[in-house]
């Protein structure tokens, strides 16, 4: 089996490669972020029993292109679709296809949009019809762990301050954090330094100071059971090893001189 092409490994010593965005670049990222957030919101409205994941991918792709943007994931290292759609025990990188969603499923939609040379990247896990209280709790804890993390995303703090806040919140609720996959910088490339783990690594180094103008994707991936995951034979889809369900929540954020700005915030 070949390595998963979306895989990001946590490594040290990346601070010097982090790209600080200029005001002009940040404006471009805001534009990309708005389109990406709108695409995620659209996907959420499409999730219902009987719908195929392929049809969701098609409509979201059409929307992104109608805005003058390009789906960031399309052909990314060979990915065969425009949106990652992961259902139930699928953690990330699910490939859209003929699968029909069922009442009670939970569906993670990870989407990116490229416009003006800059990417937006975000994800959320949505209910399909009526779901169990346990599934809803998993979704809620995963989403809130993102906000616990970005409360620490302030100029002068360290990257692992975000990681620690996410990990502590998730584990305090009895869930586990996926270790093999992490958040990342975002900009002219979909994946840029620094890597943003959702837990505090045991290694030293790789814990840069957060600086104004950094743009990063914070994306907790949370399992209801054990943290262990594996990759399916399609070399893309990551699933929990124990078959228990997982949830995923992500936004692209900007480090400012105050509270972080969510570049992929949903329009209100």
Region 90-106: what's the mean pLDDT?
Answer: 98
Residue 4 lies in a domain: no
pLDDT at position 16 is: 53
**pLDDT higher than 90, residue 17:** no
CA 197 to chain CA mean position, Å: 12
Q: Which of 205, 188, 183 is nearest to 253 (CA)?
A: 183
Task: pLDDT band for 5, please (50, 70, 90 cuts).
Answer: low
* Mean pLDDT score, 2-27: 68
Q: What is the DSSP letter of 215?
A: E
Exposed / middle / buried, residue 101 (Cβ in 10 Å: 0-12, 13-18, 19+): buried
> Edge-to-edge, what's the strand order for the sheet holding 176-177?
176-177, 221-223, 246-248
Query: Which among 158, 142, 240, 156 is positioned nearest to 196, based on CA atoms?
Result: 158
CB burial string 166-185: b at 16+ within 10 A, e below: bbebbeeeebbbbebbbbbb
Asked whether the predicted pLDDT for residue 7 surpasses 70, the reply is no
In a domain, 9, yes or no: no
Q: Residue 217: which of 22, 25, 37, 13 has the closest Cα?
A: 37
15: tokens are 């601070």
pLDDT at 13: 44
The average pLDDT across 198-210 equals 89
Q: The domain spanning residue 64 has which CATH number? A: 3.90.230.10
Residue 6 domain-assigned (yes or no): no
Please state, for a pLDDT cut of 70, what percent of the chain lies above it: 93
**Residue 31, pLDDT above cutoff 90:** yes
- With cut-offs at 50, 70 and 90, classify the pLDDT of residue 136: very high
Cα distances from 160 to residues 9, 53, 56, 139, 200, in angstroms, run: 15, 35, 35, 23, 6
Confidence at residue 10, expressed as pLDDT on a 0 to 100 scale: 40
The dihedrals phi and psi of 193, each to the nearest 5 degrees, come to -65, 150
Give Cβ neighbours of residue 225 (< 8 Å, ≥ 6 apart).
Answer: 176, 240, 242, 243, 244
Residue 252 φ/ψ, nearest 5 degrees:
-90, 130
pTM: 0.94
Q: Is 78 part of any domain? A: yes
pLDDT band at 55 (very low <50, low <70, confident <90, very high): very high
Strand, helix or coil for residue 218: strand
Neighbours of 44 (CB within 10 A): 16
Q: Is residue 21 part of a domain?
A: yes
Confidence of residue 206 (pLDDT cuts 50, 70, 90): confident
- Report if residue 8 sits inside a domain: no
The stretch 27-40 carries a mean pLDDT of 98
Tell me the two tokens of residue 20: 């600080």
For residue 42, being part of any structural domain is answered with yes
| % of the chain beyond a pLDDT of 90 | 91
Q: Within a 10 A sphere around the Cβ of 72, how many other Cβ atoms?
A: 26
Please report which confidence band the pLDDT of residue 127 belongs to, taking 50, 70 and 90 as the band edges. very high
Domain range for 85 is 15-262
Residue 45: what pLDDT? 98
Q: How confident is the model at residue 266, as a pLDDT?
A: 79
Kind plus residue range of the DSSP H or E element containing 262: strand 261-262
The residues facing 248 across adjacent strands are 221
Comparing 12 with 246, the larger pLDDT belongs to 246
1 in a structural domain:
no
Contact assessment for residue 213 and residue 22, using Cβ atoms and an 8 Å cutoff: yes
Q: How far apart are CA 60 and CA 13, in angstroms?
A: 37
Convert the pLDDT of each residue in 143-158 to its tens digit. Answer: 999 999 999 999 999 9
- Least confident residue range of 14-28, 74-88, 167-181, 229-243: 14-28
Our count of domains for the chain comes to 1
- Could you tell me if 142 and 155 are in contact, meaning their C-beta atoms sit under 8 angstroms apart? no
Please give the pLDDT value at position 267: 62
């Amino acid at each position: 089996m070949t390595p998963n092409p979306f895989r990001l490994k946590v490594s040290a010593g990346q601070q010097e490669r982090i790209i600080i965005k200029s005001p002009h670049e940040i404006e471009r990222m805001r534009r990309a972020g708005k389109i990406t957030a709108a695409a995620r919101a659209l996907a959420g409205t499409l999730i219902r029993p009987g719908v195929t994941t392929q049809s969701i991918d098609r409509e979201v792709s059409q929307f992104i292109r109608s805005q003058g943007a390009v789906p960031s994931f399309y052909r990314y290292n060979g990915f065969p679709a425009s949106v990652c759609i992961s259902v139930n025990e699928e953690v990330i990188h699910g490939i859209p296809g003929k699968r029909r969603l069922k009442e009670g499923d939970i569906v993670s939609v990870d989407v990116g949009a490229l416009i003006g040379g800059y990417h937006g990247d975000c994800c959320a896990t949505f209910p399909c019809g009526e779901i169990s209280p346990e599934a809803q709790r998993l979704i809620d804890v995963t989403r809130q762990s993102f906000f616990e993390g970005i409360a620490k995303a302030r100029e002068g703090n360290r990257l692992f301050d975000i990681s620690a806040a996410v990990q502590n919140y998730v584990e305090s609720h009895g869930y586990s954090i996926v270790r093999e996959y992490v958040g990342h910088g975002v900009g002219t490339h979909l994946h840029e330094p620094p890597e943003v783990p959702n837990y505090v690594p045991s290694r030293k180094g790789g814990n840069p100071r957060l600086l104004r103008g950094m743009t990063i994707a914070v994306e907790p991936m949370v399992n209801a059971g054990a943290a262990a995951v594996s990759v399916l034979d399609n070399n893309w889809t990551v699933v929990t090893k124990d078959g228990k369900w997982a949830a995923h929540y992500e936004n692209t954020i900007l480090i400012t001189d105050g509270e972080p700005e969510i570049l992929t915030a949903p329009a209100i």
